Amino acid sequence: MSIRTGRRRPAPEKTLAKGRLGIFGVTFFAVAASAPLVGMTGGVPVGIVLGVGPAVPAAYLLVGLTLLLFSVGYSAMSHRVTNTGAFFAYVGRGLGVTAGVGSAFVSVVAYLAIQLSIYGFIGPMLGTQLNDHLGWDQPWWVWSVLSWLLVLGLSLFSVDVGARLLGVLLILEVLSLATMTVGVFVSDSPEGLDLAASFAPDRLFDGGFTGSAGIALTFAFASFVGFEATAIFGEESRDPKRTVPRATYLAVSVITTLFVLTSLAIVTGLGASKAVAEVARLSSVDGQPLADPASVLYAVADRYVGDWLGTAMSWLIISSLFAGLLAFQNCTARYLFAMGRARVLPGQLATVNRRSAPAVATVTTSVLTLIVIAIFAGFDLDPVLNLFYWLAGTAVIAIVLVEILVSIAVVRFFRADNTDTRIWNTVLAPVLATAGLVAGLYLLIARFGLLAGTAPEGVDPATTPWALNATGWVLVALPFVTFGVGALIGAARHRTENSAAIADLVS
């Protein structure tokens, strides 16, 4: 017979491992989720040709500053809420259980969509590389499923195992971008470093907010998705009230700096006045500009550093995609875990394995993504044009929508709570962030036809905002409809369950 003393410990099957991650571990998950190499190969060329030309670095800087403003209130809230539900826990604390549950469902849709979009990209990318170098010719879904198996296996280990792997992959990825950037800046580029061309406000907004500036800002917003993952790992971090705020600021700062300097290096390497023409030429396939946007980054790396760097980047982009998959798999599983523990989804989702990983939620996430992969493969839909672009665009809208709710929740929470009276942290910064995010959401929807490739046939989405076919409107509406459904579920649960059953949403 044994005698237990002290406080009762929570049931182990409902508790994530404590103290596994430090500031850098949490930051690795957030930065890896943003997939810097993917953003620089996909977003920057489009922003240059269809957007603001050499002023693309200013677009990334403006979006980064907006998200830093968001991080001020986000971090202030993290001192009051330490919950693996993160976003929806913050919304629930500030706006109530109904809004909290609604944002929870939107967040799950967002992270599932991001994962699926990456599976649609990594399969063809890996297949092309292996076919070109080893002659292994298989359908895209074969490589996507192999990636799926590896992600599932790693996600069932403790969270620090994934953090170590992400750290290695991320360091290699950042080193490749930094090497290219330094190589450009220390070399004799065609026109030298032209800061006015890249950062002058009139250059950024040339073409108007709803014109070319809007296109550049839209793709910049899309590139930052993932930084918000810091608070998701609050329960598993050491000293979460210090770790989460610091990791958030560090993640946003690192991503912003990396994106601004890398895009500036691309513009400088090509020559500011020639950037649009050069990007169009380098990315063309059979006379179609932007058909192969990754070639732009590789060409600059080859020219200023050496062929070896372009080759290395072509492999590292695959590791970047895999790192993103692993990061978002962990994020989605922890959202489902929190929703199961809060009893808004089946309680079995809150079960952990002996490594304290959310095993049932992880397997559920994987099953859902595998089903969708099978559907796209079975109907022979294009993995990039359909699976990647469609769901990536939907995910960005969903994330920005929840970020807006979080900012509003921060203001409302601290108006009723007198524990933090700093006006900048609890009012001004969140209000400014809300304004910037609402503008970003407007642009994302107005330019969704370009972002997701869902413009009506015969309409040029680069020149026509709000150009959406039926598929486009469905994808745009999905996050808002999901929020409504989730809110109804939250209201129903709130009426039928006692407060303890859903307390995890707002604690």
* Residues near 92 by beta carbon (within 8 Å), at least 6 away in sequence: 85, 99, 100, 101, 103, 104, 409, 505, 506
Token pair of 35 as six digits: 């997939």
Whether residue 481 has pLDDT greater than 90:
yes
491 exposure class (CB count in 10 Å sphere: 0-12, 13-18, 19+): middle
pLDDT in tens, 324-358: 888 888 888 888 988 888 788 888 888 888 777 78
Q: Which amino acid is at 165?
A: L
> Rounded to the nearest 5°, which phi and psi values hold at 377?
-70, -40
Whether residue 206 has pLDDT greater than 80:
no
Mean pLDDT on 146-175: 78
Mean pLDDT on 27-41: 77
Rounded to the nearest integer, the mean pLDDT of the chain is: 84
Q: What is the pLDDT of residue 482?
A: 97
Q: What are the DSSP calls for 265-333, one per residue? A: HHHHHH-GGGHHHHHHHHT-BTTBTTSSTHHHHHHHHHHHT-HHHHHHHHHHHHHHHHHHHHHHHHHHH
Mean pLDDT on 375-401: 91
Is residue 22 within 8 A of residue 250, CB to CB? The reply is no
Mean pLDDT on 15-29: 61
Q: Which residues pair with 285 in a beta bridge?
A: 288
Task: Residue 268: name the closest of 206, 196, 174, 173 by CA.
Answer: 196
Whether residue 498 has pLDDT greater than 50:
no
Q: What is the pLDDT of residue 341?
A: 81
Q: What is the pLDDT of residue 7?
A: 42
pLDDT in tens, 421-455: 789 988 999 999 999 999 989 988 988 998 888 99
pTM: 0.85
Cα 411 versus chain centre, distance: 24
* Separation between Cα atoms, residue 463 and residue 216, nearest integer Å: 13
Count of C-beta atoms within a 10 Å radius of residue 133:
11
Q: What is the pLDDT of residue 264?
A: 96
What single-letter DSSP state applies at residue 8?
P
Token pair of 419 as six digits: 């524990």
Whether residue 230 has pLDDT greater than 80:
no
pLDDT in tens, 406-423: 999 999 988 887 777 789
Q: What is the pLDDT of residue 237?
A: 59
Task: Residue 57: name the closest of 207, 204, 212 by CA.
Answer: 204
Buried/exposed 203-217: b ≥16 CB within 10 Å, e otherwise: bbbebeeebbbbbbb
Count of C-beta atoms within a 10 Å radius of residue 192:
10
Mean pLDDT on 400-405: 93
Q: What is the pLDDT of residue 178?
A: 94
Mean pLDDT on 39-47: 85
Is residue 364 within 8 A of residue 336, CB to CB? The reply is yes
Mean pLDDT on 161-178: 77
Cα 325 versus chain centre, distance: 11
Q: Which residues pair with 288 in a beta bridge?
A: 285
Q: What is the pLDDT of residue 475?
A: 96
What single-letter DSSP state applies at residue 93?
H
| Beta strand extents in 96-237 (DSSP E only) | none
464 exposure class (CB count in 10 Å sphere: 0-12, 13-18, 19+): middle
* Residues near 358 by beta carbon (within 8 Å), at least 6 away in sequence: 16, 333, 334, 336, 337, 349, 350, 351, 352
Token pair of 157 as six digits: 């280990």
Whether residue 476 has pLDDT greater than 60:
yes
Is residue 219 within 8 A of residue 47, CB to CB? The reply is yes
pLDDT interval class at 239 (50, 70, 90): low
pLDDT interval class at 390 (50, 70, 90): very high
Whether residue 87 has pLDDT greater than 80:
no
* Separation between Cα atoms, residue 172 and residue 180, nearest integer Å: 13
Q: Which amino acid is at 380?
A: D
User: With the CA atoms of 373, 379, 384 and 387 taken in that order, what torsion angle do they form, in degrees rounded to the nearest 10?
Assistant: -50
Lowest-confidence range among 7-11, 271-275, 367-371, 498-502? 7-11
* Separation between Cα atoms, residue 102 and residue 39, nearest integer Å: 29
Q: Positive or negative, the Cα torsion across 428, 430, 434, 437?
A: positive
Q: Which residues pair with 237 in a beta bridge?
A: 21
Is residue 415 within 8 A of residue 95, CB to CB? The reply is no
Mean pLDDT on 217-237: 71
Length of the chain: 507
Token pair of 303 as six digits: 């020219």
Mean pLDDT on 249-256: 88
Is residue 304 within 8 A of residue 269, CB to CB? The reply is yes
pLDDT interval class at 10 (50, 70, 90): very low
Whether residue 394 has pLDDT greater than 90:
yes
pLDDT interval class at 8 (50, 70, 90): very low
At 21, is the secondary structure helix, strand, or coil? strand
pLDDT interval class at 266 (50, 70, 90): very high
Lowest-confidence range among 22-36, 110-124, 183-197, 348-362? 22-36
415 exposure class (CB count in 10 Å sphere: 0-12, 13-18, 19+): exposed
Q: What is the pLDDT of residue 322?
A: 87
Task: Residue 229: name the closest of 475, 25, 440 by CA.
Answer: 25
